[in-house]
Structure formats: structure tokens, C-alpha cells
Amino acid sequence: MQSNPDGPREPDDTPGDPSEAAWQAIVENYGDRAEIDEPPAPEPPAPAASTAPFGGRFGDLGSIPHEDDDVRSVDDDTFEPPPPPPLPRVAPDRLAAWAGVFGSPTVLFVAVILGIEVPSLLMYLLVASFVGGFLYLVYRMPRGPRDPWDDGAQV
């Protein structure tokens, strides 16, 4: 095929590459709808409007059969979980150690950010409380495993 600078290309009558002929057929028929001989399959009827939750996609949740053929509605489910157990109490010595580990750097950081000059004695006390709290918490860690067959997983 040769391109024509004055207009669209005209197909040659000379036999050429079959892929070029197929491409030309695609280009010539671009945008045309294909003719289908067989009739389309009938569409299923549209589902009727439902008042069920989720538009009835998951079935009617209000008519779930239960024991003794009892039917409950979704609104009748009123599950109330039991009250949670009380929070564990931290021993006062460990609480002081944690306050030193987290509180001392916080005080020093806030003082640096706000530009407050901290007296030397207070700075030494804050650093000592951090180091002392950290060492105390490390010292109070359990030495061995909780159980010889314990793999560390807890539920």
C-alpha cells in the first residue's frame, strides 16, 4: 500500500500481507456495530422492590427461622456485653519508675522547646530519675520464662 499525501489511503488490488488486509478491514469498519444472527437471550425479570434490610440482597433478615420455629426481627436483638474487668493496679514503685522514664524526658523536652532555663540541680535530678527508673524496671523484669513450655504467645 502506498500513502497518498492528498487524502486517505486507497487499498491496492495487489495481493500483499494478510495481516495488512485484516488491519485495513478493522480500520474501514471502525465504529460499526456487529450484526448478530441469533436473538438475544431473554433477561430475567427485575426483582420487586423490597423493604428488607440491604435492599433484600442478603435475604430477609427479619424472618430468620430459629429454634422452635420462632421468628425474631432484627430489632429484637439486644446483646449487651458483660462489663469489662477492672484495670490492673500498678505497684507504686513501678509507677514511680515509669514516671521517671517518661516524665523526665518530657519535662526536659518542653523546657528546651519553650526556652526555659532549667537549673543545673533540677536537670541532674531529671536525668538521674530517668536512668534510675530505667535500671529499676530492667532489674524488676522476670528472670525466666513464665512456663518452661511457653512460646511467648498470649491470648
pLDDT tens by residue, 130-148: 999 999 999 999 887 677 7
The model's pTM is: 0.43
| Structural domain contains residue 65 | no
| Structural domain contains residue 126 | yes
The number of folded domains in the chain is 1
| Structural domain contains residue 37 | no
| Structural domain contains residue 86 | no
| Structural domain contains residue 3 | no
pLDDT band, residue 122 (cuts 50/70/90)? very high
pLDDT at 128 over 60: yes
Residue 109, domain extent: 92-139
pLDDT in tens, 44-59: 766 665 555 555 555 5
| Structural domain contains residue 101 | yes
- Stretch (H or E) spanning 59: none
| Structural domain contains residue 10 | no
Span 64-71, mean pLDDT?
Answer: 53
DSSP 12-50: PSS---HHHHHHHHHHHTTTPPPP--SPPPPPPPPPPP-
| Structural domain contains residue 33 | no
Is 119 in contact with 127 (CB distance < 8 Å)?
no
Question: Given this model, what pLDDT does residue 147 score?
Answer: 73
